[in-house]
Amino acid sequence: MSSESYDLIVIGAGPGGYVCAFRAAQLGLKVALVEKRATLGGTCLNVGCIPSKALLHSSEHVTWARQHAKDHGIKLGSVEVDLAAFMKRKDDVVTKLVGGVGQLAKARKIAVITGTAQFTGPKTIRITPSEPKTQNSEPKTQNAKPAIVADLSATNFVVATGSAAVELPFMKFDGQTVVSSEHAIAFDSVPKKLVVVGGGAIGLELGSVWSRLGSEVTVVEFLPKIVANYDDDIVRNFTRILQKQGLRIETATKITGCQLKTQNAKLETAAVLAAEKDGKPLEFAADKVLVSVGRRPFTDGLALEKAGVQLDEKKRVKVDDHLRTTAPGIWAIGDVVAGPMLAHKAEEDGVAVAEWIAGKHGHINWDLVPAIVYTSPEVASVGLGEDTAKAKGLAVNVGKFNFAANGRAIAMAQTDGYVKIIADAKTDRILGAQILGNNAGEFISEIVTHMEYGGSAEDLARTIHAHPTMSEAVKEAGLAVSKSALHAL
């Protein structure tokens, strides 16, 4: 057993945690990074953002080859998917990235400690070996004491332990039929029928992947619309596009039960979901059920109470506006605190906390965290939507520009969707934006940049955009706020 003291110990090596550790090391602090996985990167790099985007990209190639190659004069034979190779590419992408993070930590002389952390006091933690994550692992021996890897102390701690998928009480994850997103990025065969419970980003992205590979996908959403934080017009058009791609979407539908074939051998599929819509019963047959109804802050096993760290009513770590917890010298970032559960938000939290700990002036603008759904086309947003702004009683001007009128979009056959800019009617200051279209996630950053310095729709409109590019639609939407779009009637 080893014992060591540090200026900062970061618990959790996801995007928030490792970025916090990197910035603190840059600022001269002695830093340790504790991670229960054998690799760094957290959920995002290992089983979340990165592998799902690799699968999305590969599956888009499948759709293009099968449905669009002929439109470009490209003749292909039968297009088949080698699922093992398909998955190997995803795994290779993950391996490369998590390895890169490990190399960066080593170069910054950060002590990386593999194990599970538990507070033993306000300035101390104990590290024990992480439990192996296998389906057939031996049960724990009662009253057995875990081996101790290290007892560590620090002047400052950052809790960056992320989040975990929410289970439905009557439909627990079994890893075989009822699965989380972590399971759904690693199926060994294409399910004939996939039911996705939840119409948010994760469900729509993974539903799109398996639909492109041949699954009959049904998305069941409890709320009246999918991606509920977006404007009604964006959602209406987005829904239509997804339905055209083959996804069945059932909104305002409540799942009330799940019967597995292990419970009823007469079932023709692995599961049958019972549901209710408009007071009428529905049933959905499924070979796999992906439950993606949200994520919860993950602080299990940290013994935060021993350090004096309090949680709020939603089991999030209580923090002030500088991300300090109720215990002096302990900070919390990312998914364990209030705010959007997004990797880039966690990164900004981590950088700011490292700078505050080092006596610098950290900065975060939580009002300007962009959100993206990485389907095809993508949906992206920042700030206030039109519906929300009007619900708040704000007077706004709205500019829209369709990709169907953009030269590059036409050349690329990517004409679905549009850019929408929401600006204050009096000052012209940009309040928000929503984009439905190819690479919307790339375009939204330009608007975030203008909003960061308080820019106006006119500032955006007068920024020179190269021609021909799809980003010209952003400029035109800025012009459209004052009814000055040049390439629209």
Q: Could you count the other beta carbons within 10 Å of the beta carbon of residue 129?
A: 13
- Rounded to whole angstroms, how far apart are CA atoms 179 and 291? 6
Torsion sign, CA atoms 211, 217, 220, 226: positive
Q: Which of 68, 322, 363, 467 is catalytic?
A: 467
Q: Annotated catalytic, 361?
A: no
The Cα-based distances of 33 to 103, 342, 358, 479 in angstroms read 13, 20, 17, 48
Which residues are the active-site residues?
467
